[in-house]
Amino acid sequence: MGTNNDGLSIRRSETSDDAELADLFNRAHAHLAGTVVRSASDIAWRCRRQPGMPDDGGILVEDPDGRTVGYAFVKSNGDVTEFAVDPDGPRLATASALVTACEERALATGATRVRVNIPVTDEAVASILEAAGWVALRPQGGRYVASTDPGKLVGSLAAQAAMSARPITIVLSDPLAWQHEVTSVAGGTGLQILAGQRTLNEILLGGASPWKAVASRRLRIKPLVRTVSGVRYLKAVRVDAPWFHTLGDVL
Amino acid sequence: MRVRRIAPVDLEATTVAAIVDGAFGFYGGPYWQWKYADPGGPDAVIMLAEEGAEIVGCNHYLVVPYQLGEHTLTGLAGGDLFVNPEFRRQHIATDLSLESRMLVTEAHPEADFVVMFTWQALGSHYEKLLGYTKLKPGYQQWSKRLSWEPQLARLTEANEGLLTKHPGLARANHALRLEVKGAPPLDLKVGPEGFTPGRPDGIPKVRLRVSGPDALSFGRSGVPLVWMVAAILTRRWRFGGSPKALRQATSVIAAYREALRTLK
């Protein structure tokens, strides 16, 4: 497709590029929560084999040194199912080149509109889209999450955050059939966190404040004098980065 | 109702793919095959709900690694729950959601959480009955209309009906420029032929600026007059142009209402 005024080359991406694309996506979204980790086989399935994706639906942008700095996949109906820009490259120029290429590709396939999902925190790409005449839509759907076992999730997050040495016990007030009522993290019983699972979900995955849960008595910490430690612990293990989208669905 | 797991190669999966074509207009069998039966895709869990020998619904999960900040956890991405149209309004969706979630978490004890996507209207159902927590939206959808062609074709087809229902159009003779944010401007002539593409010179002109494609989303029942007034008062719609053209537009506002709905 050629080279633009910023010296960036735009070409069709091939299957042999997939490992590089996966690496780029993972680096570009490493700071976010809720992205599905990409691999070459995942790109092949998610992007290339998705119904409605033409053979030339993949767009790749390279810098003057031949380094891949961005890519996108555009379906025949104009849905951009994948859009990633190298965080260490010329982001604005790359995003601008990709946006233009996506529109051209969509027009070539007869699409009458283009759509893309962009992380809410990515103000740079948002500014490029706005300047190109795109408009932000009101969300029509939402993502809902439930931990399969909040106690187990606390343990898992604590282990990954290298906090497993801290003794803590989670007591669920409303366990479901497959959940443990009591989960001991690191086998200790020195501090107990008692709550319903919705409250724990909201804190661990939804970004809710543990202090508010304590104040409204939906969360109790025993012994009472260690409430500050318990809240600090929950704040340390919870996931509070914004969630991105799953899978190849544009919606 | 019995809920059980089936494999993509099972005979029932073919039936599910066929039912999906009817249950989701936008979705279709090929999309289902790709998402849940592609051997190169993530592990899929297909849960079938049966009433006797009849398939009454189906629910799906994909087992996927989620990056959560510095962590990678296993998530069960649920979605595309459908109920056979003949068995709707029997709480099958709720029962199937709960039962299948129990079965899938038993089958995948390594999973840390289940995540679902649903439309806003069903959100409270997911929170109250199914025990899910709504996530902060992490992404923003952006859109740009590249062409008005399909909408113009619909409008041209609708003109005959518009002229019959709104005889005032026969006396109109002005031009309308529609400027929707995120779309190219659209020029229409409003007159005895209805709303036709083009911007003729020498006739009074109206300009309608719309804040975005959302502001053209009127729902199934059309644009209630009260909604239109609210849109004008809140400046989501801004009319401008020559006083003569504006007077004409006001006299055929009901026709405008229908025409704009067609352009959604």
Domain with residue B256: its CATH number is: 3.30.1050.10
Contacts of B203 (CB under 8 A, 6+ apart): B173, B174, B175, B189, B245
Domains in chain B: how many in total?
A: 2
Taking only residues 152 to 211 of chain A, the set having a beta carbon closer than 8 angstroms to any beta carbon of chain B reads 152-153, 156-157, 160-161, 176-178, 197-198, 201-202, 205-207
**β-bridge mates for residue B139, sequence order:** A119
pLDDT in tens, B56-79: 889 999 999 888 767 788 999 988
**Residues of chain A found within 8 Å of residue B130, distances taken between Cβ atoms:** 144, 146
- B157 and B120 in a single domain? The answer is no
Is residue B133 in a domain? no
| Tokens at A207, concatenated | 């970004």
pLDDT on residue A251: 40
Contacts of A68 (CB under 8 A, 6+ apart): A17, A20, A21, A24, A60, A61, A62, A86
- The answer to whether A35 faces chain B, any CB pair under 8 Å, is yes
* Whole-number Å distance between alpha carbons of B239 and B246: 8
- The answer to whether A124 faces chain B, any CB pair under 8 Å, is no
- B153 and B78 in a single domain? The answer is no
* Whole-number Å distance between alpha carbons of A27 and B81: 33
- B153 and B75 in a single domain? The answer is no
* Whole-number Å distance between alpha carbons of B223 and A227: 54
A114–B143 CB contact, under 8 Å: yes
pTM: 0.85
Task: State the CB neighbour count (10 A cutoff) for residue B202.
Answer: 5
- For CA atoms A138, A248, A103, B28, the dihedral sign is negative
Give mean pLDDT in consecutive 10-residue pieces for chain A, a chain of 251 residues. 86 97 93 87 94 95 95 95 94 96 95 92 94 87 82 81 72 82 71 90 86 96 90 84 59 40
Angle between helices B253-262 and B243-251 (to 10 degrees): 80
Is residue B82 in a domain? yes
B145–A107 CB contact, under 8 Å: no
Low-confidence ranges of chain B (pLDDT < 70): 22-27, 69, 214-224
- B81 and B196 in a single domain? The answer is no
- The enclosing H or E element of B221 equals none
- B25 and B102 in a single domain? The answer is yes
- Hey, is A243 helix, strand or coil? strand
- B123 and B154 in a single domain? The answer is no
* Whole-number Å distance between alpha carbons of B1 and A243: 35
Of B128, B159, B174, the residue that ends a domain is B128
- B124 and B12 in a single domain? The answer is yes
Domain span at residue B227? 149-262
- B64 and B167 in a single domain? The answer is no
Is residue B142 in a domain? no
- B119 and B163 in a single domain? The answer is no
- Hey, is B150 helix, strand or coil? helix
- Hey, is A27 helix, strand or coil? helix
- B198 and B120 in a single domain? The answer is no
pLDDT on residue A250: 47
* Whole-number Å distance between alpha carbons of B94 and A146: 15
Rg (C-alpha) for chain B, rounded Å, is: 25
Structural domains in chain A?
Answer: 2-131 (3.40.630.30), 150-237 (3.30.1050)
- The answer to whether A50 faces chain B, any CB pair under 8 Å, is yes
pLDDT in tens, B51-61: 988 888 899 99
- B12 and B118 in a single domain? The answer is yes
* ipTM of the modeled complex: 0.86
pLDDT on residue A184: 81
- For CA atoms B253, B257, B258, B263, the dihedral sign is positive
